[in-house]
Amino acid sequence: MRLPWVPAVFCVAIGAFAAGRSFLSYADAKPALEAQRDKLPAELKNATEARWDAWARQQDKAIRARLEQGDLDSMVNLLLFGTSFTHQPRILMENLTEASKAGILKARVDDLVAGLRQPAGNERLEFLSGVLRARGLDPETPEGARETGMFILSNLERVAEEARTFARRAAEADRKTVAASDPAALLDRASLFADRGVSLDTGIFPNFSIEQTLRDLKKRGLLREGQVGEVAVIGPGLDFIDKNEASGYDYYPQQTLQPFAFYDSLLRLKLARGGAVSVSVFDISSRVIDHIQHARERARKGAGYVIQLPRDIARPWPDDVVAYWKSLGDQVGMTVAPIRPPDIFQSLNGGRGLETRAVEIRPPVVLALEPQDLNIVLERANLAPAERFDLMIATNIFVYYDAFEQTLALENAGAMLKPGGLLLTNDRLPELPGGSIKLAGVTDVPLASQGVVSRQAVGWYRRR
């Protein structure tokens, strides 16, 4: 069925991408260089325009290089939680020693190496096979298979050690949060992953928090019905396999979720101008960009985009999150039959298994997504004032960068917002004195289930 608002999608979806992008200039970076003087890298001490330009381009390469380590992290997640290449039980990180003694870990490594040798159309294995072959590892030969297995195990050891480090950092951040009375303290995750590979994880909880925040902003009168026309998603993620066992699945094709969930929420809350929005998707990953471009190509031929939404019912979710899960996608698509999970999930959790649903996103919504390669730390889209964004969202992104990089990213985001426009993020970002954007408030999102109470928060940074 052709919807009456379809033409608007094509009219509004071209602004950011006709304009192109540019590196942050020395003049625009100078306030951050002065404000963060004691936190600058050595190359930027006594910075000049030439030094800044050289550092920015080198740092852009360094940030993008972290994607490869993130890919190796995903390889470890696949080893532990994947079910598309093995029938062995999945392994929790805390049960790693027991799994090793029982031979389960070795069996999983052997199965993964065999899968890398013959991916048989498995897109995740095909991708990882290319990553490893680029490193000179060839699982086709007996010696190459042994080296590949050793490489996988060495990365598992690295990830396990990093997990312990990140847990200590997170515990320290939690102690500070508990002691603080300021609601914005929930955003104080600092730069927990500033020395970690950049992964492409995605999941439902950040999208639930964004919808709750949009609802809060509408209630406060900071967003009005029909106000939002141009939006951007920074780093939406690609569901390769999550690092959390509760959401780490590989039995369905890779998918991106956040752009569609964001669009869905804007329609549900009647915030979309004219019933449609243009969604700019910024990412440094060519995999994300290519994935969305391929989805758009299929949409031009009338094909929708199917998202799979499994839920482990043995892990209780708060009632309002379950309600969100049941409604997710109903504004932008229609319910379709989900892919059946492997039998291994039906035998777990006392036979309760996974509850599943799937939604096919309408082609016009897919075509409203416009992906662009952009490093939010060092680049900004060149937008005329009328083309700038009403809303931008970035969840679990800025935690990968240090304070100086976060300051640059915040100003780049501010430069792409209309006056009064909002950036929604679950991290507190260092603000510049007199900068273009500042923290205007925080939405506290409680998550209570069976006596366990946790909280998430989303800060709203507003363009002056």
**Which residues share a beta bridge with 237?**
none
pLDDT in the model for residue 164: 82
- Banded pLDDT at 177 (limits 50, 70, 90): low
Residue 163 has what pLDDT?
81
Whether the predicted pLDDT of 366 surpasses 90: yes
Q: How far is CA 325 from CA 16, 202, 264, in A?
A: 31, 15, 12
| pLDDT of 339 higher than 90 | yes
**46 Ramachandran zone, left/alpha/beta (phi>0; psi -120 to 50):** left
Decide: residue 242, CB within 10 A, 0-12 exposed, 13-18 middle, 19+ buried: buried
For residue 337, pLDDT over 70 is answered with: yes
- Span 181-205, average pLDDT: 65
* Superfamily the domain 8-29+186-463 falls into: Vaccinia Virus protein VP39 (3.40.50.150)
**Sequence letter at residue 379:** E
Q: How confident is the model at residue 385 (pLDDT cuts 50, 70, 90)?
A: very high
Average pLDDT over residues 376-390: 96
Tell me if 396 sits within 8 A of 206, measured CB to CB.
yes
Instruction: Say how many C-beta atoms besides its own lie within 10 A of residue 452's C-beta.
Output: 9
pLDDT digits (tens, 9 = 90+) for 406-450: 999 999 999 999 999 999 999 999 999 989 999 999 999 988 665
Say yes or no to pLDDT of 8 above 70: no
Report the pLDDT value the prediction gives residue 245, as an integer from 0 to 100: 75
Q: How confident is the model at residue 197 (pLDDT cuts 50, 70, 90)?
A: low
Query: Is residue 45's pLDDT more than 50?
Result: yes
The band of 13, judged by pLDDT with boundaries at 50, 70 and 90, is very low
Question: Please, which pLDDT band fits residue 9 given cuts at 50, 70 and 90?
Answer: very low
Contacts for 214-219 with beta carbons within 8 Å, 24 or more apart?
A: 214/265, 214/266, 214/269, 214/271, 214/424, 215/269, 216/443, 217/422, 217/443, 217/460, 218/269, 218/271
Confidence band of 178 (pLDDT split at 50, 70, 90) = low
Residue (of 218, 178, 232, 274) closest to 397 by Cα position: 232
Task: Please check the confidence at residue 307 and state whether its pLDDT lies above 50.
Answer: yes
pLDDT tens per residue, range 81-124 = 999 999 999 998 889 999 999 999 999 999 999 999 999 899 99
Nearest partner of 181 among 442, 453, 462, judged by Cα: 442
Q: Answer yes or no: is pLDDT of 196 > 90.
A: no
Surface-to-core class of residue 376, CB atoms within 10 Å of its CB (0-12 exposed, 13-18 middle, 19+ buried): buried
With cut-offs at 50, 70 and 90, classify the pLDDT of residue 218. Answer: very high
Q: Is the pLDDT of residue 354 over 70?
A: yes
The residue assigned the tokens 């993020």 is 425
Residue ranges of the chain that CATH labels 3.40.50.150: 8-29+186-463
User: If you average pLDDT over every residue of the chain, what do you get?
Assistant: 88
Q: Looking at residue 231, what is its pLDDT?
A: 98
Q: Which range, of 218-222, 241-245, 406-410, averages the lowest pLDDT? A: 241-245
Distances (CA, A) of 258 to 81, 140, 288, 370, 444: 22, 38, 12, 14, 20
Judged by DSSP in three states, 317 sits in coil
User: Rounded to an integer, what distance in angstroms lies between the CA atom of residue 318 and that of residue 338?
Assistant: 23
Flag whether pLDDT at 451 surpasses 90. Answer: no
* pLDDT score at 248: 86
pLDDT confidence tier of residue 2, bands split at 50, 70 and 90:
very low
Tokens standing for residue 404? 């100086």
* DSSP state letters, 195-258: TS-------SHHHHHHHHHHHHHHHTTSS-TT-B-EEEEE-----S--SSGGG---SS-----H
What pLDDT is attached to residue 450?
55
Residues 6+ away with beta carbon under 8 Å from 124:
78, 82, 84, 240, 241, 250, 254
Q: What is the pLDDT of residue 49?
A: 96
Say whether pLDDT at 203 is over 70. yes
pLDDT, tens only, 142-168:
999 999 999 999 999 999 888 887 677
3 state DSSP class of 392? strand
Q: How far is CA 205 from CA 257, 309, 328, 445, in A?
A: 11, 12, 12, 10
Measured in degrees and rounded to the nearest 5, phi and psi for residue 215 equal -65, -40
Residue ranges of alpha helices (H) inside 233-376 are: 258-268, 286-300, 319-327, 343-346, 363-367
Across 179-196, average pLDDT: 59
